[in-house]
Amino acid sequence: MKILSKLLILTVFSLYASCTAEPPAEPTDLTQEVIIPKPVSVTTSGGAFTLTETTRIYTQGNGEELNQIARQLSDYLSPATGFNLPVESTEGEADDGHILLQLDNSDTELEEEGYELNIAEDALTLIASEPAGLFRGLQTIRQLLPPEIEKGSPQELSWEIATGTIRDYPTYEYRGAMLDVARHFFQVDDVKHYIDLMAYYKLNHLHLHLTDDQGWRIEIKSWPKLAEYGGSTQVGGGAGGHYTQEQYTDIVQYAQARFITIVPEIDMPGHTNAALTSYPELNCSGKAAELYTGIEVGFSTLCTDSEVTYQFVDDVIGELAALTPGPYIHIGGDESHATPMEDYIPFVNRAQEIVLKHGKQVFGWDEIANADLVDNAVVQYWAEAENATKAIKQGGKVIMSPATKTYLDMQYDSTTELGLHWAAYIEVDSAYIWEPTEMVAGVDREHILGIEAPLWSETVTNMDEIEYMAFPRLIGIAEIAWTPAADRQWEDYRTRLGQHAPYLKALEIDYYASDLVEWAEDSVQ
């Protein structure tokens, strides 16, 4: 009887334990997860790591940036999970169930922005040579979790990540987007929101088009009327606006925390009507121009024969350079139809020297290649292939921004209510099916610094419209800039983009749902 009683007790205990124990995680396949941009390599081990309320984030390495990134990861994951996810430093491996962020420069293949993500059932380890690589890896972790991770309140879910290893690093050093805040003005919070979306897809440069005929958007203390008067309106005649230097600094610092470099543009000698309305001495006639709220181009020019003009350029570039920690100052130079070439070339030459004087690297639209480029100049190809080749012959580097592929203000098709179509209609497939090294004969991989997708704002007035025109085309351009060409095929991308739809919804991106893509049903509540 005693033996039977013991067997009965053991049987009941075994049944109870089997009912109360955590069920084992289902087998998973990391290679089937959708990650955009597509990583360099992914291998799977068939298990799952589970984020729980006891998970901690450990750091291994030196520097405040490492701790900042760990806190960012906690901030990304805590709202939706409801978990505290404290950050601690460690000298060894993370305990079971935890996350480790590790700086280790022994893996030279990863360079500045690469990372390796090792996911085991008992720990998740993110390794990078530099802090920027860790930050790029955080974006991958976000995409490996259920899309509800982007929600701002606790969600009742199991937070599992498939096990395996991801090794990843970018193809191009410069991966950017441009936002035109001159035609229509966008508030600081809008710019920050765009920065957040760029960071999610591993972009690393935001080019701000700060001045144009319709508005001057940055405070210049030595020429205060530029912003006060020149920035007072916008396309259509509505109230404009400008960034104070403190607000601009706030944007720069916000971007820096997300490893995005701000590239400020002061467009000149054309696209300068807002300046010409503010200070009559910048006009050859000595008379102030009228404020302009239309969308025509090519009618304005600084007085290139006047020394006052160069004092103006020196003052503006000097103040902007002092506020900008990044290496570049963009001097524009495009569509200066009102400036004869015999005046345009010496102006651009002097403007370049002023940029160098203030410790910055020259950046400009492809027309500046008609001038004598200074060392390390960066030329942004948008229209004229001949200008891109001129830049190469002078030793310059090229940013590829072909208007027919990367201009996010172009309509998707003839039915699109927003945007223009002077360059092309650019559907989602067209924005993805192009190879930077094949756009201009003679401009090869070694000449290309990177890719940038401009969004001009003649017809774009608010953040919903920005999102609609930029997404999903900006996602595809981000993949072109990050992923090796051999790993990019439209049919594969089209499928992955469609499966990515729940993440777009969770991020509340007002994207264009192209009929060319089979969008996954939204499971996010």
* The residue type at 30: L
Residue 79 in tokens: 């709202």
Residue 264 in tokens: 């400020």
Q: In terms of Cα–Cα distance, which of 177, 324, 197 is closest to 251?
A: 324
Question: CA separation (Å) from 222 to 315, 319, 404?
Answer: 7, 8, 39
Question: CA separation (Å) from 335 to 58, 251, 283, 353, 483?
Answer: 52, 28, 18, 21, 33
**Residue 228, CB-side half-sphere exposure with 13 Å CA sphere:** 8
Q: How does 177-200 read in b/e, with b if 16+ C-beta sit within 10 Å?
A: bbbbbbbbbbeeeebebbbebbbb
Among the listed residues 335, 367, 435, 438, the single catalytic one is 335
Helix (H, G, I), strand (E, B) or coil at 473: helix
Q: Please say if 335 is a catalytic residue.
A: yes
Calpha distance 410→477 (Å, rounded) = 14
Question: CA separation (Å) from 258 to 195, 254, 255, 305, 411?
Answer: 8, 7, 5, 42, 30
Helix axes 188-200, 245-256, angle to 10 degrees: 10
Question: CA separation (Å) from 444 to 59, 371, 399, 517?
Answer: 40, 22, 12, 31
Max Cα distance, the chain (Å): 115
Q: How far is CA 319 from the centre of its chain?
A: 25
Calpha distance 24→44 (Å, rounded) = 18
Calpha distance 213→410 (Å, rounded) = 20
List, by residue number, the catalytic residues: 335
